[in-house]
Structure 1
Amino acid sequence: MEIDEIEHGVGFNGVRPCVRCQVFDVDRHVIATYDDPAPGSGNVLNELVFEYNDLGMPIKEYQEHQGAKHGNTLSVQYDYDTTASGGVFTHGL
């Protein structure tokens, strides 16, 4: 499933960026800006990738400011206390 949201504005060096959001499945979302507003074309200018756990809570966020996410892209990881008793989280999330 792909969701296209196009917003035109004046970006750096006169580039008019286009924002597209792609939902690959319930545990990964991608938001990227492109140098061409046509869907399926253009180069990625920067990209955010969000990964979620089975409860739909964020577990990892990548931010690449120079193109698409790659193996060296920095990330932030989130962790939650999942202590449970009788199927109920006892320390909250």
Structure 2
Amino acid sequence: MRDLLLYSLLRVVILLALWWVLMQLGFGMLLGGVLAVLIAMMLSFLLLDRPRRRAALRLQEADEARRARRGPVRDEDADEEDSLLDEPRG
């Protein structure tokens, strides 16, 4: 959870810093916001590789732990379809 929070916080800081700079350059609130979002997205992809990977790993581990607690999922509809396909046609 800490890794995800850190990654999110870093992205927000980059976004707000870019938005502030663009506002100071006179781009206006809306255009500056849109440009800040697009630039922040690209910068976070390039600069925040390690925090993003750690956050993704933690989310994957949490998902695997949740699936292990729930046990196997049985799809009754798929079982019914398989049984119909397995029957000999006559």
Which of structures 1 and 2 has the larger relative contact order (alpha carbons within 8 angstroms, sep 6+)? 2
TM-score over 0.5 (shorter chain) = no
Structure with the higher strand share, 1 or 2: 1
Which protein has the bigger helix share?
Answer: 2
Question: When the two structures are superposed, what TM-score results if normalisation uses the length of structure 1?
Answer: 0.24
| Greater gyration radius | 2
